[in-house]
Structure 1
Amino acid sequence: MTTKVIKAIIEKASDGGYGIYCPDLEEISLYGYGLTETEAKENLQENLEMFIDESENENIINALNKGDISFDYQYDISGFFKTYNFFNISELAKRIGINPSLMRRYKQGITLASKDQKKKIEQEIHILAKELCAVQF
């Protein structure tokens, strides 16, 4: 059996912790939560194991590939900025060409960015990362 890769989205939880959900597994509600990103990932794995151990539904067990799953962790914008909280959101927004107030709402999870906006933010962060890799002191 080959390992099934499941997309897992890391987001900022409403209480300030981290939440992880699997959009491809909405029908079984596989989630993780923790005060840290590591705790949330561990909780997601524990919940996966619990589903497998306790489920009598063969469809659920098959959907979970009998537990042989690898998670492809991705961030939503609020989760990214929670993890990488050293960014000056207003300055990054100006660099990207996004209204700083709107970018702060994305960061807080108040407003969800469109697909195009997410791509624009992601591309600029990748450009910034390449620039930082070239820095020498």
Structure 2
Amino acid sequence: MEIVKIPMTIERQGGKVLLGRVEYNDNLMTDFAQTVEELETKIKGLLWGFEKLAPEQVKFICQYDIYALFQKFDFLKISNVAEHAGMNPGLLRQYVSGAKSPSEEQVKKIERTLHKLAEELKEAIIVTW
């Protein structure tokens, strides 16, 4: 069975509702959910219903807005990420809450910071005594 990788954009759609959208075979499919996991399940259902693409064949390549990113990776502390990015934590909280929209430059700064932290974490070695 071949795994099909499909880009999915996930963004806040007001309140705590997430909107997900994918394009497959020139068909745009969208749905709403409270969590990223629920959204992935619902979109996989749409892909099965319209394209007969089995859920276990689908791997999403997710693109998140700031709100959806911190919802998905809820173990990240906004203030710590902001500190590592050299940003004001209050400003990042405003981006996450939707009170303000980040510029493309700010989005890239946050993205670079997260990738750097992920690389550092990937290199961590845990030992037992």
Q: TM-score, normalised by structure 1?
A: 0.66
CA RMSD of aligned residues (A): 3.0
SS at match of 1:30: strand
* Distance (whole Å) between structure 2 residues aligned to residue 88 and residue 70 of structure 1: 27
- Give 1:81 deviation, angstroms: 0.3
SS at match of 2:8: strand
Aligned-residue identity in percent: 30
Compared CA separation, residues 44 and 95, structure 1 to 2 (3 A):
same
Compared CA separation, residues 136 and 9, structure 1 to 2 (3 A):
same
- Of 77, 95, 109, the residue aligned with 1:88 is 77
**Runs (5+) with no aligned partner, structure 1:** 53-65
SS at match of 2:100: coil
Does 2:65 align with 1:76? yes
Give the match for residue 117 of structure 2.
128
- Given that 2:9 and 2:62 are in contact with CA atoms closer than 8 Å, whether structure 1 keeps it comes out as yes
Letter in 2 for 1:104: R
More helix, by proportion:
1
Alignment of 1:1-137 (within 5 A): 6-22=6-22, 30-48=29-47, 52=50, 71-133=60-122, 134-137=124-127
Compared CA separation, residues 109 and 48, structure 1 to 2 (3 A):
farther
State the number of aligned residues: 120
* Distance (whole Å) between structure 2 residues aligned to residue 39 and residue 33 of structure 1: 9
SS at match of 1:91: helix
Compared CA separation, residues 135 and 128, structure 1 to 2 (3 A):
farther
More strand, by proportion:
2
Q: TM-score, normalised by structure 2?
A: 0.69
